[in-house]
Structures are given as structure tokens and as C-alpha cells.
Chain A
Amino acid sequence: MSATALDSPDVDVDPGLQEQFDATIAAERRIEPRDWMPEGYRRTLVRQIAQHAHSEIIGMQPEGDWLLRAPSLRRKAVLLAKVQDEAGHGMYLYSAAETLGADRADLTDRLIDGRQKYSSIFNYPTLTFADVGVIGWLVDGAAICNQVPLCRSSYGPYARAMVRVCKEESFHQRQGYELLLTMMRGTPEQRAMVQDAVDRWWWPSLMMFGPPDTDSPNSAQSMAWGIKRHSNDELRQRFVDMTVPQAAFLGVTLPDPDLALDPSTGRYRFGAIDWEELKRVISGAGPCNAERIARRRAARDDNAWVTEAAIAYARKHEARS
């Protein structure tokens, strides 16, 4: 898809088409690929779905770093299945983006060139095996909070991809929590590893929900279009409310002295998030940004010969038959 096609305003549009689109959204019905849609809607969806797909693909790296060092065959098999799922999630999402006229290879190029983004969370390193558990518990847990409402997104292919993804995420979160429970029953050193991992991942997990509502200029339009269902702050609050009791059960503390139940609302109040850190990490200055993109670039470039050989082989056989 060319940038010009994306950016062109909806000139000379039959007003009936816009009306039909608005009525479909208002009636909570789904927009499907061959329907007419405003260019802004298409552009917003391509950006959001691509960013989501990129996050799944880049998200394989932090956990992938532990595949060869998993402490047992069982943990290795589980981690391998989990990382493979994330690749699948990326594929479902690229597939949804393509129904909007985007090209999968072009989206990957945009990721590698830095023209499109991915979730800031994957720019942090996984220092110990406890990080694998904490990612499953907190990072996949936050992803679930974000993704469940997207199963009702107004764009059909995106909503359907999210249904598939959500079915698989529950395994991701549970394997992580189970891993942590096991470590917490272990030695004092193992318990300290879990606490250390929680301390490092807690705040970045809260940042996964994006900037505060007061600083999220496009949210209102996305919500009006039914692309987004809840505000960043609302989802973040849900995640905190869900997670605090799980931390207590696990026997870890969350690194926030201001975290406290508000008896009047039944919800947890929490401390101020370092938005400067989020901005830094999103704009490329996180601890692992360069490494993540370099690895993705190498995967594209070093494997190009495989994709070329496969198509050459297919063409040769087509010509013979």
C-alpha cells in the first residue's frame, strides 16, 4: 500500500457510503474487508494492527533468549510452545492487516526501518529464568487486559484474530504464574530471583497500556470508530486490580509504596508512572531496542535466500507440470 493512498482524504465520496459505514458502527455490526471505509479508519487500523503484529514478533526475543537455557525439558517444551504461539499471533495479525491492503513484507520493512513501532515492554532484558515466569504473569496478563476488549473491535478480521489470540494467552499467563509458584516454593535464592524480576517488570508492565488518557490524542477517535473499547487508564486500572491479589498469593511485593486499596471504590490506587521512561524507550533509547531490531533485520536478510530458493523451486515445478 502506498503512503499516498493512505494519506489521501476522502474526496468525492458518495455520502451514502459514509452513512452506511456510520450506521454499521452505530449498530455494533462489523466492518468487513470489502466494505467502503473512511481512509482515516483504514490508516488507523493498519497502524494499530501492524504495531500489534510487530509486538508479537519482537516479543519472541526476550523469552527466546532462555530457550536453550531452560532448567528442565518440561520448561523448555512449554517455553517453546509459548514462543511459537507468539509467532502465530504475529501471523494472524499480519493476515488481518493484509485484508486492509497492507503488504506483509512492507510492514516488516517499516518495523526494521523504525517507521512503525512495537510495544515498549520488549525492550527490557530477561536477566534470569524468573523473568520468563514474570513475563507470562505480568506481560501476558497485561496483554490479555488489552486484547479481550479487542475481540469486539469494529473491524471483523481484527476482532476474529483477537479471539484466536485470547484463547491462547490464558496458557501463557498460567504457565508463567505456575513457574513463579514453583520458584517461590524453592530456595531463598530462587525467591529472591522472583522478587527481583517482579521489581524490574512491574512498572514497564503498567506502561504497556500506553500514555495516560490526558496525553492520548487519538484515543477518542479510535473509540468512536469502535477500534478501541476502553481508555488506556481504565485498562491499566483493571490490570492493577486483577494483579495485586495474585502478587499477595505468590508472596511477592510490588515495588510501589503508594499502592493501596481505596475502600470507597474497591480499586487500588497506585503511584506515579515515569512517563519520561516510556517516551525514552518508545523513541529507541531502551536497554535492548537496538539489539531487538538488529536481530529482526538479520532474520529478514540472512533468510532471504531461503524464501528465494523456495519460490524458484515452486516455479520450476509449475513450469514442468
Chain B
Amino acid sequence: MSARAGWPLYEVFVRGKRGLNHVHVGSLHAPDDEMAVHAARDVYTRRNEGVSIWVVRADAITASSPDEKDPMFAPSGDKVYRHPTFYEIPADVPHI
């Protein structure tokens, strides 16, 4: 076994600029949270790609699976009234 195997995997999220959400950019291995932030800075933001970095251990993430797609995402599929296009507005109403 190689030594690297002892370093946990972290997922990295970067806020590109003020006003935007953090977006997932990739992953890296680091011995602890602090080193993960330092490494993320070097690997993912060498050219001002971000103003803020989140790192989170990959094993702490709970995700939905594509096979669960139906039960997970179906409720939003049939609530079309959540979308602005559901509402019919005459074309001559300004700014809406």
C-alpha cells in the first residue's frame, strides 16, 4: 500500500466571485481540513478563479443516485406551477 492511500479524499467547491454560489470544481487528497484548503487554493485557484473555497470530506457527502431519480425528482416534475412559464400574461404587459 502506498502512503497516499492514508489521505482522505476531499471535494472542493469554489465561489467564483461575490454574488455567485460555490460550485464544485474537483477533488483532492489531504491529511486534514486545513491542508485541504491550502492544497485547493494551489490546485484550483492559481488565477483568481475564486474568492472563497469550501472543502468537505467526500465520505461526509450524502447524494441521491440516478436510479432513485423518480421518487426524488418526480414531485418537482408535476409541480409545473413553480415555473414562471406556467402563467399566461398578455404580451403587452411591460416588465414582467
- Interface on A for B, CB 8 Å cutoff? 32, 34-36, 81, 84-85, 88, 91-92, 95-96, 98-99, 103-106, 108-109, 157, 160-161, 164, 168, 300, 304, 307-308, 310-311, 313-314, 317-318
Contact = CB atoms under 8 A, between A and B. Distances in A.
Contacts of A104: 4, 29
B43 interface: yes
Contacts of A85: 46
B6 interface: yes
Contacts of B1: 105
Contact of A308 (B3, B9, B29, B43): B3
B43 A314 contact: no
Interface residues of B, number: 25
Contacts of A88: 42-44, 46
Contact of B4 (A95, A108, A157, A317): A108
Interface of B: 1-7, 9, 25-29, 31-32, 35, 42-44, 46-47, 63, 65-67
Contacts, number: 69
Nearest to A112: B2
A35 B67 CA distance: 8
Contacts of A109: 2
A91 B46 CA distance: 13
Given A84-B46, A88-B46, A98-B9, A105 B26 contact: no
Which 6 A-B pairs give the minimum distances between C-beta atoms? A105-B4, A314-B32, A310-B31, A105-B2, A307-B3, A314-B31
A34 B66 contact: yes
Nearest to A89: B43
B31 A95 contact: no
A199 B48 CA distance: 38
Q: Is the interface of B mostly helix, strand, loop or mixed?
A: mixed
Contacts of B31: 307, 310-311, 313-314
A107 to B, nearest CB: 10
A97 to B, nearest CB: 10
Contacts of B27: 95, 98-99
A105 B6 CA distance: 10
Given A34-B66, A104-B29, A310-B35, A91 B43 contact: yes
Contact of B26 (A81, A95, A308, A313): A95
Contact of A34 (B7, B26, B28, B65): B65
Contacts of B46: 81, 84-85, 88
A305 B65 CA distance: 38
Contacts of A92: 26, 43
Name the residue in B2, B7, B47, B66 with the highest tally of chain A Cβ atoms < 10 Å from its Cβ: B2
Contacts of A168: 47
Contacts of A108: 2, 4
Contacts of A91: 26, 28, 43
B12 to A, nearest CB: 9
A315 B87 CA distance: 56
Nearest to B67: A36
Nearest to A84: B46
Contact of B5 (A36, A105, A317): A105
Given A95-B27, A318-B32, 5 more contacts: A98-B9, A164-B25, A308-B3, A311-B6, A313-B32
Contacts of A35: 66
B28 A307 contact: no
A169 B54 CA distance: 26
A132 B80 CA distance: 58
B3 to A, nearest CB: 4
Nearest to B5: A105
